[in-house]
Amino acid sequence: MQVDLGVFAHNEAAGIATMVARLTAQTVPGLDLRILVLANGCTDDTAALARAAGAEVADLPEGGKSRTWNRFVHDLSRPEARVLIFADADIQLPDADALARLVAALQARPELHVMNSRPVKDIVADPRGLGWQDRLIAMAGGTLDDWQTAICGQLYAMPATCARLRWLPAGLPVEDGFLRAMVLTDDLTVSEDLPRIGGADVWHIYESERSIAGLIRHQVRIVIGSALNMAAFDALREMAPPVRKATLQLAARDQGWLRRIAQARLPRWPDGFVPLHFLVKRSRNLLCNPRRLLRPKGLLLLVAGFGFDLIVWLIAQIRMARGTGAGHW
């Protein structure tokens, strides 16, 4: 079975050779696995180093993960490929058969549109020598989203036929959240069908932010990107279904589409630029899990998490108001 793996790499010269070596060492019996490094908008030697490591490389002059996603799915993947795998260039695969198991899990459940790998922070995978701040960061993992019903953009697989139904607007700061909504709702034409997304018995390791300032910067980008997604969803819902699909295909090539939508629809009463949902999401999830709150550190996590989310929410509001949000919306 033909499987195409797209490795999204933007200025990953420091680690791309190691990533290519790890991927080519994967055990993939029964699969015709093609590894394609998607070097997008790079200003370093990512493409050259990936080629030197033995990888096939698409050297794309324009950056942006959503734009690169469209190129991989619609232009660069093999027409005969039955499964497409999407991977970030800076993750680790501890198991030598992770890719084969990810594909097998997807094939075993034909009703799925997306099969996720479970994301694990490096400080969780190896907790030795952690200080109090790192332990708190590790403890907070998984309090915002369920990896089995979200799309983890770091590593997931899709049937190629499902992926090729989708187009992502250029410039999305949170492309996996946008894709999730389109997959679950058939481009916002039906109610969410959560069983379309699942999680495999596969895991990968990613590098965690280790400072509070870094965590805040990362989460501000996520919140702003999610707020922009919601503005785009509202605009699309006002269109007839056939117009939505055509609009998304055009938006995939129009860098200004998302900006125009945001300027036309934000801010709005009573949320402002960023919905209140993003302030209370973590606290609500924790309150819905009283067993976790009853643990010794549960109350600490609730209080610290809400304080962190409040800071992020306020910064996101200010940056959106100034027009300096993610991607300079």
Q: What is the pLDDT of residues 244-265, one digit of tens each?
A: 889 999 999 998 899 899 889 8
Six token digits for residue 173:
């700061």
**Is there a cis peptide before residue 79, judged by omega within 30 degrees of 0?**
no
Phi and psi dihedrals of 13, rounded to 5? -60, -35
Copy the structure tokens of residue 253.
């090539």
Most distant CA atoms of the chain, gap in Å: 56
As a whole number of angstroms, the distance between CA 36 and CA 151 comes to 21
Query: Is 231 exposed, middle or buried, given 0-12, 13-18 or 19+ CB atoms closer than 10 A?
Result: buried
Per-residue pLDDT, 136: 60
CA dist 59 and 38 (Å) reads 6
pLDDT digits (tens, 9 = 90+) for 49-71: 999 999 999 999 999 999 999 99
Show the tokens assigned to 67.
Answer: 């734009």
**Cα 90 from chain centroid?**
13
Q: Tell me: the pLDDT tens digits for 21-46?
A: 999 999 999 999 999 999 999 999 99
For residue 83, the cross-strand partners are 3, 159
Beta bridge mates, 199 = 116
DSSP lists the bridge partners of residue 85 as: 5, 157
Q: What is the helix (H) or strand (E) element at residue 85, kind and residue range?
A: strand 83-88
Residue type, 181: A
Torsion of CA 124, 174, 191, 312, to 10 degrees: 70
Q: What percent of the chain has pLDDT over 70?
A: 88
Q: Which residues contact 10 (CB under 8 A, 6 or more apart)?
A: 39, 40, 41, 42, 46, 63, 65, 89
Beta strands in 147-248 (DSSP E): 155-159, 197-206
Residue 162 dihedral angles phi and psi, to the nearest 5°: -75, -45
Helices of type H across 6-142: 16-24, 46-52, 65-71, 98-108, 122-125, 132-139
Residue whose tokens read 């998490």: 305
**Token digits of residue 297:** 């550190």
Q: What is the pLDDT along the chain (329 residues), one digit of tens a residue?
A: 999 999 999 999 999 999 999 999 999 999 999 999 999 999 999 999 999 999 999 999 999 999 999 999 999 999 999 999 999 999 999 999 999 999 999 999 999 999 999 999 887 877 676 675 666 665 555 554 577 888 989 999 999 999 999 999 999 988 999 999 999 999 998 899 999 999 999 999 988 766 788 888 888 988 998 899 999 999 999 999 889 889 999 999 998 899 899 889 888 888 888 888 888 887 777 777 667 666 667 677 778 778 888 999 999 999 888 876 655 44
* Domains recognised in the chain with CATH numbers: 1-208 (3.90.550.10), 212-329 (no CATH)
